[in-house]
Structure 1
């Protein structure tokens, strides 16, 4: 296999972006970057070897004649050349999934090499201004994006999408100014694929909107966990009361002009202290549950705040004439919102 690396220089990658030999070397750096970002426990030498050799079968007569054998022949040639079994399997798996419903990689080496390859293709194509439009997708970027998402989910990988996109663009030598524009474009393209996938799986559209409302969350595995938990919750008996209370809290939080710390000494009504105590207790449990991606437990903690929230609104005039009191009450509601909206923006849920 290794003796075919030189021949890859004769195979063009994309216009202005070098050849497949260049891509192979780039993939070695990309898989290292991904392994570090995901904190994957993987044999570094075998991972890099897989990335380096994964495209070598493109210059073999069999693959030139039968392109659908990409990866299959790479695996067999690697075995014949005495490469490690993990490398041979990784070469095959990095092409997966090849179509909707296809098998997914089963090893970290196959997953990481596959993500790196597909992300490199997507970033390269976007950098040339050739993003898919309408029904036109000549480079099959939508399929590759879905492949990345499914691999991330199947591997239970938690990673910042923005960072790995920026890393892929860096390895392609895309100028910093262009990278700044391309990262959000590619991330939005990926999020749209995630949105469609979730709705195809039966997740309510408003639940998807609620979860994706947090533009800063670019961990797709986390987002899917949130969507599934919230989708189950909105069908429960507790959902309407929490959604109503959370929406009321969120609406008042829009009146916050500047953030301020909560000062319990400014509480003038018993309901303020009660809500504050309930929120502080819930926030501790929410933090523990969220670190485990247990969003059903997070929502259960939010439900505990419904009665204190309702009592607060019954007894307290938030927009008090005393600016200090008003701001303190708004600060309290902001802390409550952090809990009620910890899984997603409940105010967009349709009841």
Structure 2
């Protein structure tokens, strides 16, 4: 078996899509050939992706696949043969389509196919040749690539092609032999191109195994995306000189996709620009120029690092050119910052009335008023500083109409904080303006201040309630307003900050700010957030049973849910758990079937049987202790105390007839079970743990 190399050489590919394109190209060819049994068990596929090529190297690829025993259904016997066994026209027609004749009928086998007997054609199919298989797989893979936007172009011969970028060459090598396949109007060969500037000549690839080394040594191209990325990271670290290089993964991936031979150089800008908030400068360098800013002790320096696609002994022109390019960008940021400070945030609020938020929900000004009202309600629930919450909510969206945020929407909230501090606003109010967008994504930090938490909750609840009010719910994979993310943000704040807030009350406060609301909108939103809560808890490692046991009670306060889950997990580990869970399920079924309302109190004088007397006495001793532990939030200890009831519960069901003919006895026993059921299900519905 030899290695296989397939390369598609193109014009510059979209950098933000390159990594996925390279992975999809390699995976499509590997999986397609594996499905056709052309790869050995230990075969390894290596993806390559540069700005001008997608490629894959696959080890241990066979020239021909193995022969395969096949068993194809022909027709049901009732259709194929007459009552006397003679072949019918449908059978003869089917045989002709299969390349068989009437003489082959004796070789067909009969077997049951479900409830009816059918004829089958059993034969050995020869293995598929690599060239045939690769042609099919390559065509399918190219057609299914995750292309962000398809481009239409014409080849020199006038044929029209649709692809992400114009393609110029195709390589398909099995060992050192060219595999005769074609795609996008290109015939496979063994010729590639090296670096656009460092290698002018065509590059002949001798064999599949020499592809990466040939490109590196003779073409000045590092074909592996991962190797280029690692090289960039190593060079950034080398030139950091002890400073922190700000290198987010998205920027690293994008820069890696822009170069084939990465070389990092150091540049500088004038120190006077450091007067501008560093977030503005960093974003300017990253977004517009793809540069890596540096920090020392958390403060931005005037050094930045660039990744060039050209290696030279005299990089002065490259460095000087990049320094000239970044200067006007930084000057723009400084101008925006200076201009924005001339008008206070509070004075910008009227401008929000002219900014459309949603055609059915009004302007940003109207939305801002709703957020303020919800924040006031939450502050009252928390007995927090309502004045600060109101002020922060009122100013939270004012920076949307500043020049800086207009240029860089990613800075919303961040610039609001800077401008609020410049205006002399309270420090916590300023921090809340920044924090109210948090958490922005999974794993993001939560607001640190109480005011920030209140406004963040208000902002997210307003979004959720508003869009549910007009019926714009997420469907399937579509969630254009990120409502799932907003719901998870609310969940995280309620749980991780252990806030004493009732979720139904929060939802009601949010909907109270809207004039028109759909009939089921509030109930739908509650269901939606509870569903997101279940998913979030499952992702944290809790089992479906544990989560169901707790969430089925629909607890209003979510801060103690982790403690409830840990208590359920500890209870489930006790030897008494399964018996009590089963008994709890049985009790629930009995109470559901009871006629009329079950009495709330137990009459001790009506407890005739020793087993029911023993259970009543045991509950009289254990329940008050369990209730006190529950009230103190000691859920694990509360359930452990109730576990002591296993023996009297088992004895009760073994020796007591609940549905006695005497109505008084029956109702008294139901009341006893009702009290037991309520005591056992305060932390969680333990019946959900029954196997």
TM more than 0.5 = yes
SS at match of 1:286: helix
Deviation digits for residues 143-167 of structure 1, max 9, x if unmatched?
0100011011122112221222121
C-alpha contact (below 8 Å) 1:9/1:19 kept by paired residues: yes
Give the superposition deviation at 1:289.
2.2
C-alpha contact (below 8 Å) 2:503/2:557 kept by paired residues: yes
Find 2:487's aligned residue among 141, 145, 163.
145
2:557 corresponding residue in structure 1? 219
1:45 corresponding residue in structure 2? 387
C-alpha contact (below 8 Å) 1:47/1:113 kept by paired residues: yes
Find 2:400's aligned residue among 58, 61, 65.
58
Find 1:68's aligned residue among 389, 392, 410.
410
Q: Which segments of 5 or more consecutive residues in structure 2 lack a partner in the other structure?
A: 1-344
Give the superposition deviation at 1:12.
1.4
Report the Cα distance in structure 2 between the residues aligned to 1:101 and 1:133, rounded to whole angstroms. 24
1:232 corresponding residue in structure 2? 570
Report the Cα distance in structure 1 between the residues aligned to 2:475 and 2:393, rounded to whole angstroms. 30
Give the superposition deviation at 1:99.
0.7
C-alpha contact (below 8 Å) 1:233/1:239 kept by paired residues: yes
**1:110 and 2:449 aligned:** no
Report the Cα distance in structure 2 between the residues aligned to 1:291 and 1:56, rounded to whole angstroms. 44
1:184 corresponding residue in structure 2? 523
Give the superposition deviation at 1:251.
3.0
User: Which is worse superposed, 68-77 or 150-159?
Assistant: 150-159
Which aligned pairs between 1:268-287 and structure 2 lie closer than 5 A?
268-287=608-627
C-alpha contact (below 8 Å) 1:71/1:91 kept by paired residues: yes
Aligned-CA RMSD value: 1.6
**1:263 and 2:612 aligned:** no
User: Which is worse superposed, 316-325 or 102-111?
Assistant: 316-325
2:347 corresponding residue in structure 1? 3
Report the Cα distance in structure 1 between the residues aligned to 2:469 and 2:647, rounded to whole angstroms. 52
* Structure of higher RCO (CA pairs closer than 8 Å, 6+ residues apart): 1
Report the Cα distance in structure 2 between the residues aligned to 1:244 and 1:134, rounded to whole angstroms. 37
Deviation digits for residues 235-286 of structure 1, max 9, x if unmatched?
3434223223323333322332221132111111122122112223333223
C-alpha contact (below 8 Å) 2:618/2:645 kept by paired residues: yes
Which aligned pairs between 1:280-295 and structure 2 lie closer than 5 A?
280-295=620-635
Give the superposition deviation at 1:350.
4.7
| Structure richer in helix, relative to its length | 1
1:209 corresponding residue in structure 2? 548
Report the Cα distance in structure 2 between the residues aligned to 1:339 and 1:139, rounded to whole angstroms. 42
Report the Cα distance in structure 1 between the residues aligned to 2:532 and 2:380, rounded to whole angstroms. 25
1:250 corresponding residue in structure 2? 588
1:33 corresponding residue in structure 2? 377
Report the Cα distance in structure 2 between the residues aligned to 1:238 and 1:330, rounded to whole angstroms. 23
C-alpha contact (below 8 Å) 1:246/1:337 kept by paired residues: yes
**1:135 and 2:473 aligned:** no
SS at match of 1:221: coil
User: Which is worse superposed, 140-149 or 152-161?
Assistant: 152-161
User: Which is worse superposed, 71-80 or 12-21?
Assistant: 12-21
SS at match of 2:559: helix
**1:198 and 2:537 aligned:** yes
SS at match of 2:537: helix
Give the superposition deviation at 1:84.
0.9
**1:22 and 2:341 aligned:** no
SS at match of 2:362: coil
Report the Cα distance in structure 1 between the residues aligned to 2:688 and 2:658, rounded to whole angstroms. 23
C-alpha contact (below 8 Å) 2:566/2:636 kept by paired residues: no
2:422 corresponding residue in structure 1? 80
| Structure richer in strand, relative to its length | 2
1:12 corresponding residue in structure 2? 356
2:202 corresponding residue in structure 1? none
Question: How many positions carry a matched residue from both structures?
Answer: 345
Give the superposition deviation at 1:319.
1.8
Give the superposition deviation at 1:170.
1.2
C-alpha contact (below 8 Å) 2:368/2:394 kept by paired residues: yes
Larger Rg: 2
Deviation digits for residues 292-316 of structure 1, max 9, x if unmatched?
2221122112202111111212221
User: Which is worse superposed, 315-324 or 122-131?
Assistant: 315-324
C-alpha contact (below 8 Å) 1:272/1:312 kept by paired residues: yes
Give the superposition deviation at 1:14.
1.8
C-alpha contact (below 8 Å) 1:31/1:48 kept by paired residues: yes
